[in-house]
Amino acid sequence: MATITTEQIKELRELTGISVMQCKKALEEADGDKEKALLVLRERSEAIAEKKGDRELGAGVVDAYIHSTKMMGSLIELSCETDFVARNEEFIGIARDIAMHITAVGPADVAELLEQPFIKNPEITIKQVLDGGVQKFGEKIAVSRFTRFAVGE
């Protein structure tokens, strides 16, 4: 078993935003390999999200992304359980990133959106982005609704 250094843990934490202990455990399970540890964390995020699936969503944010050409944009409602998470800048950043994705790709509905490869990282889906948020914030989060606008459509 490889020795896990504080620097490795710090690097993985900065990359994912996930707790130090979860990063350490993932690195230990991956024998110090950062890429394998990322996969371990991704698998765990799915399991955590599944456990929190029955929780009620009572808070969230509405955010927008407007393309630099001003010819298209989107609005998204990203829901969570508490105002505490809704005010978190990283949560708001997830909403903005998904709104950007919606603007670029134009999914028909939430179900289609969740299955699409994330435009900023095609190795993961939008559902995996949300699952990572659940793991990071400890709350259920979901795209409640969205709309996309484009000049001439």
What average pLDDT does this structure show over 126-135?
A: 92
What's residue 40's pLDDT?
83
Residues 131 and 78 reside in one and the same domain: yes
Mean pLDDT of 137-152: 94
Say yes or no: 19 and 87 in one domain: no
Q: What is the pLDDT of residues 17-29, one digit of tens each?
A: 777 888 888 888 8
| DSSP-derived secondary structure letter, 138 | S
- Stated as kind and residue range, the H or E segment containing 63 is strand 59-66
Q: Residue 99 pLDDT more than 90?
A: yes
| 109: in domain | yes
Give the pLDDT confidence score for residue 49 in this predicted structure.
64
Residue 1 lies in a domain: no
The pLDDT of residue 145 is: 97
Query: How far is residue 85 from each of residues 82, 129, 133, 140, measured CA to CA in Å?
Result: 6, 16, 10, 10
Supply the CATH number for residue 82's domain. Answer: 3.30.479.20
Please list the alpha-helical segments (H only) found in 59-150: 83-86, 89-105, 110-115, 126-137
pLDDT tens digit string along 111-128? Answer: 999 999 999 999 999 999
26 inside domain: yes
The string of pLDDT tens digits covering residues 34-64 is 888 888 877 777 676 666 667 778 899 999 9
For residue 2, pLDDT over 70 is answered with no
Domain of 12? 6-51
